Amino acid sequence: MPIIYKAAITIILIIWCIGIFIEFLVPYNEHLIYFLPYLNKTFSLVCHQENSKLITNGISETLTCARCTGIYLGLSLSSLIILLKEPKIKISFKLILFAVIPMLIDIIFYSVQIYPYSKIFAFSTGSLLGSVGFLYFYSGFKNLIIEIKNK
């Protein structure tokens, strides 16, 4: 795939992740506060934004929960790696199961209160899903370009 497409996807994902952490950036550029309520509403479409599940440093919080933050950072990390080196992993159904099962186990375990909600577990399982999920997206996008070229 031409590097320009890979770079465009990576840039979009990085901008999306910057949006998630915008509260952390407001102290460095006060005009970013104008975007904050709008971005909060945007991310509310893709995340429940429950206060207890947001990543915080005591002053600022992420605009998505720990799990969603992990998913989007995982997607960004995978896209950055693929920008530098083409993956040789074969896309199979077992791969997505490997990524989804830890997240499902975490959701079930904290729902039945085997342990309380852990931002670390949520972030880790989210990152795993995001990293692996990007491989499917990348593979689909590559096949799309091939289809368009063959048409």
Could you please report the per-residue DSSP string of 47-58?
Answer: ----GGGEEE-S
Integer angstrom CA distances of residue 74 from 2, 84, 134, 144: 22, 16, 8, 23
x/- track of binding to other proteins for residues 121-150 (CB under 8 A): ------------x--xx-xxx-xx--xx--
- According to the binding rule CB under 8 A, does residue 33 interact with other proteins? yes
Integer angstrom CA distances of residue 69 from 26, 95, 135: 18, 21, 18
- According to the binding rule CB under 8 A, does residue 118 interact with other proteins? no
Return the H-helix or E-strand segment holding 27. none
- According to the binding rule CB under 8 A, does residue 89 interact with other proteins? no
- According to the binding rule CB under 8 A, does residue 59 interact with other proteins? yes
Of 11, 46, 101, 108, the residue at the interface with other proteins (CB under 8 A) is: 46
* Residue pair 37/27 in contact by the 8 Å Cβ criterion: no
Q: Which stretch binds other proteins (CB under 8 A): 45-53, 79-87, 112-120?
A: 45-53
Alpha-carbon dihedral 13, 17, 20, 21, rounded to 10 degrees = -160
* Distance of alpha carbon 127 from alpha carbon 133, whole angstroms: 10
Of 1, 14, 91, 109, the residue at the interface with other proteins (CB under 8 A) is: 91
- According to the binding rule CB under 8 A, does residue 37 interact with other proteins? yes
Provide the binding-site residues for other proteins, judged by CB under 8 A.
23, 26-27, 30-31, 33-34, 36-38, 41-42, 44-48, 50, 59, 65, 67-68, 71, 91-93, 96, 107, 133, 136-137, 139-141, 143-144, 147-148
